[in-house]
Amino acid sequence: MISCGEASGDIYAAHLVSAMRDLEPDVRVSGFGGDRLREAGADLVGDYRGFSVTGLVEAVRVLPRSWRMLRRLREWARRERPDVFVAVDFPDFNFRLLPTMKTLGVPVVYYVSPQLWAWRPKRLETLRRYVDRMLVIFPFEAELYLQAGIPVEFVGHPLMGVTRAAGTRQALCERLGLAEDRRIVALLPGSRPNEVTRLLPGLAEAARRIAKQVPDAAFVVARAPALDDACFRPLRALGGDEMFVATVTGATDDVLAAADVVVTASGTATVQAMLHGRPMVIVYRVAPLTYALGRRLVQVSTYGMVNLIAGRTVVSELIQERFTPDNVAREVVSLLTDRERADAMRADLEVVRGKLGEPGASARAAAAVLAVARSGPAAAGPV
């Protein structure tokens, strides 16, 4: 049984299932996820779409649906008694399934660590109580769990070795009707509806200002699948004779590979951009109340995963009040026109890439999951 609740988790879970099938073709997987997990061969008990939001305040709105889905998954687990439960990140949802698994004696593997090192470190106690094996994808996470007495294995990042464009820059330009000598600015506003709604208006206005300073700049928006057209209304005011603006759906790696500079929402996309070696600017904004509450809990000085892995600020972060069209435009224009700065950032990103381990993370994770499944039932809790 597997549970993932957002686009990046769906990708990681799908790669995991494919790798498990390579090792054990008869393995059966069911659970909570999306299209990628289904395409990998899992039977979905529930679909995550509509559950994935960012922010404390925003999460309240989906609570009724979340509780209904949790009941459905608990009932499935009681009826089917899986050999192993794999939780993929998404802690506010997945943590509520852990006691049920303990009660049923189902061993638990947590794949892709919740960012407890950034906030809510007390949740380590929950993981110590319920999790049989942590499989982490960032090197600095392993020491955290070792110190907490939680069995852990650093398997490497699942995007290593699989992040590649399906086509060339030339092919993308031909597809979009764009001259190859134009400088491409990739805009990645996120994969959740509330992210795109909060970020895209500012990115659209920033694009307008960039175009005035760099007339040959072209803007390509990497659109995550299954997002409503309404999220992208701010783009309608752009384009025309003065600007080139295009949207590409479901081909983020192609857009990143073709880009000269990337402006991306904080999250997995920052790792994708780093793996493509693309200079970038990280942006993010949540509801003011969420940010005010979160600032009291967050225990890190940077937010972007690239910077956290590096242990220093490699990429500019424009978070909350610093996320303005002027600031975004200033950073992008600098990276487009200051070759020395852009080259230095590429070199730093290559160093970060070297810290993510060797390709084959999904295969290593699959072997670990199957080993836990074969080890037999965990100690059951009180029924």
Q: Tell me the per-residue pLDDT of 254-292, one tens digit each, with 9 for 90 and over.
A: 999 999 999 999 989 999 999 999 999 999 998 776 666
Could you tell me if 290 and 267 lie in one domain?
yes
Inform me whether the pLDDT recorded for 383 exceeds 50. no
* Domain CATH code at residue 287: 3.40.50.2000
Angstrom CA distances, 230 to 52, 78, 199, stand at 17, 40, 13
Could you tell me if 261 and 134 lie in one domain?
no
Residue-level pLDDT at 25? 97
CB 47 within 8 A of CB 264: no
Residue 373 gets which letter from DSSP? H
Question: For the residues 29-39, what does the mean pLDDT come to?
Answer: 96
Lowest mean pLDDT across 111-120, 129-138, 353-362: 111-120
Closest by CA position to 271, among listed 364, 115, 158, 185:
158
In tens, the pLDDT along 189-199 reads 998 888 999 99
Neighbouring C-beta atoms of residue 313, cutoff 10 Å: 13
Could you tell me if 73 and 199 lie in one domain?
no
Could you tell me if 201 and 283 lie in one domain?
yes
What's the angle, vertex CA 162, arms to CA 159 and CA 166, rounded to 5?
125
Give 194-197's long-range contacts (Cβ < 8 A, gap of 24+): 194/53, 194/54, 194/55, 194/58, 195/54, 195/265, 196/227, 196/231, 196/232, 197/231
Closest by CA position to 221, among listed 273, 267, 185:
185
Sheet strands (E) in the chain: 2-4, 30-33, 43-47, 85-88, 108-111, 133-136, 152-154, 183-188, 217-223, 244-249, 261-265, 280-284, 316-319
Could you tell me if 147 and 251 lie in one domain?
no
Domain that holds residue 338: 169-353
108 within some domain: yes
Q: Which two tokens stand for residue 277?
A: 């070696």
Could you tell me if 345 and 255 lie in one domain?
yes
Give the residue, 358 or 379, on which the prediction is more confident.
358
In tens, the pLDDT along 117-128 reads 555 567 888 999
Inform me whether the pLDDT recorded for 353 exceeds 60. yes
**Count of structural domains within the chain:** 2
> Which one-letter amino acid corresponds to residue 90?
F
Could you tell me if 240 and 340 lie in one domain?
yes
Question: For the residues 348-376, what does the mean pLDDT come to?
Answer: 95
Could you tell me if 83 and 135 lie in one domain?
yes
382 within some domain: no
Could you tell me if 302 and 181 lie in one domain?
yes
Closest by CA position to 200, among listed 135, 125, 257, 285:
285
**Residue given tokens 């009180």 in the structure block:** 382
Give the C-alpha separation, 236 to 332, whole Å.
Answer: 22
